[in-house]
Amino acid sequence: MKKYKLFQLLFVVIIGLVPSLLMAQDAVEKPALLLSLKYFNNNNKTHHLEVQAKSKIDGKFQMIANVPVQFYISSDADKSNILGKAITDAKGMAAIIIPASAKTQWLSTANQTFVVVSTPTKVYEETKGELAITKAKLQIDTVDGRIINAKLLALVDTTWTPIAGVDVIVGVKRLGGILNANETPTYSTDSSGAVMAEFKRDSLPGDKKGNLILTASVIDNDVYGNLSVEMVAPWGKYYPYDSKFDERTLFARRGHSPLWLEILAYAIVVGVWAVIIHLLLQLRKIIKLGVE
């Protein structure tokens, strides 16, 4: 009788544990999501934020698409600090321009913190990323002798102060990116926050006035983020476009190939068909002779 009661008790305990075991089995640990936040100052006029979402899958980091994110200034604790919302694209990227509504918060301090928060999904938990920056700006000018002068200033308390020891890229804007002004890839700012680069790219194509867009930029700095500034200088050369569209050239459109090429092609076609016709006529004669 005691053995029977003991068996009943074990049975009840096992039945009670089954749901817990099933729930533990279903509660699969979700992979960790990493949010990398970057700040951009474009020409000291517009500011924007970019975030990249990635996760380690099968031992490799992969970009995660379709992740809803919200951007905040200062803190995400106060929902009135929200700057905007976005969804990551196929490359795991999402970006927003810092709106004018954040002006008061932006001007309140020389140092600023940005926060990005992802919305939890079926695959990933809510994740947060933060970025702290010191407000800074780049200035660009030219001096005699085709010299580009760039200067980095950061806001210390309420004063714009020159910053030394920061790498600056000086170049000219081209269709495929930034072409360095000369053989030196980067310059380090001196005690006055300035760098000087000699422009050695002669005969670069410009617009009708020979204008080129000169640039100076700070890339992925841990303190100041990404800064870029541009200016126009008449240091290029205008190359008028000579259209060959209606002329007979080797690579022209259909019907405008060189005459010698058309004559050669048609002569080959006529020659081939002449041989074929001649062979058919000879074959006909042979058949007639066979019949006779």
Residues 87 and 155 in one domain: no
Residues 127 and 84 in one domain: yes
Q: Which residue, of 212, 233, 254, is where some domain finishes?
A: 233
Tally the domains of the chain: 2
The structure tokens listed for 39 are 């700040």
In sequence order, what are the residues at sequence separation of 6 or more whose Cβ sits closer than 8 angstroms to the Cβ of residue 290? none
Lookup result for tokens 């919200």 = 70
Residues 158 and 188 in one domain: yes
Higher-confidence residue of 97 and 59: namely: 97
Residues 114 and 157 in one domain: no
In a domain, 184, yes or no: yes
In a domain, 218, yes or no: yes
- Which structural domain range is residue 74 located in? 33-134
pTM strictly above 0.85: no
Q: Which residue, of 203, 233, 263, is where some domain finishes?
A: 233
Residues 40 and 118 in one domain: yes
Residues 163 and 224 in one domain: yes
For residues 188 and 194, the answer to whether their CB atoms sit within 8 Å is no
pLDDT tens readout for residues 21-60: 445 444 456 788 999 999 999 999 999 999 999 999 888 9
pLDDT tens readout for residues 176-212: 889 999 999 999 999 999 999 999 998 899 999 999 9
Q: Which residue, of 134, 159, 188, is where some domain finishes?
A: 134
Lookup result for tokens 């000369």 = 182
Least confident interval from 9-13, 31-35, 53-57, 146-150: 9-13
In a domain, 55, yes or no: yes
pLDDT of res. 203: 87
In a domain, 87, yes or no: yes
CATH of the domain at 95: 2.60.40.1940
**147-176 burial: b if 16+ Cβ within 10 Å, else e:** ebebbbbbbeeeeeeebeebbbbbbbeeee
Residue 126: band (very low, low, confident or very high) from pLDDT cuts 50, 70, 90: very high
The structure tokens listed for 181 are 């002004």
In a domain, 92, yes or no: yes
pLDDT tens readout for residues 60-87: 999 999 999 999 999 888 888 999 999 9
Q: How far is CA 11 from CA 18, 21, 24, 32, 56, in A?
A: 11, 15, 20, 39, 43
In a domain, 155, yes or no: yes
In a domain, 5, yes or no: no
In the sheet that 111-118 helps form, which strands lie side by side, from edge to edge? 82-87, 68-73, 111-118, 128-134
Q: How far is CA 255 from CA 31, 140, 199, 262, in A?
A: 61, 52, 46, 9
pLDDT of res. 22: 46
Alpha-carbon distance of 169 to 178, in angstroms, equals: 9
Residues 141 and 114 in one domain: no
Phi-psi region of 180 (alpha: psi -120 to 50; beta: other; left: phi over 0): beta
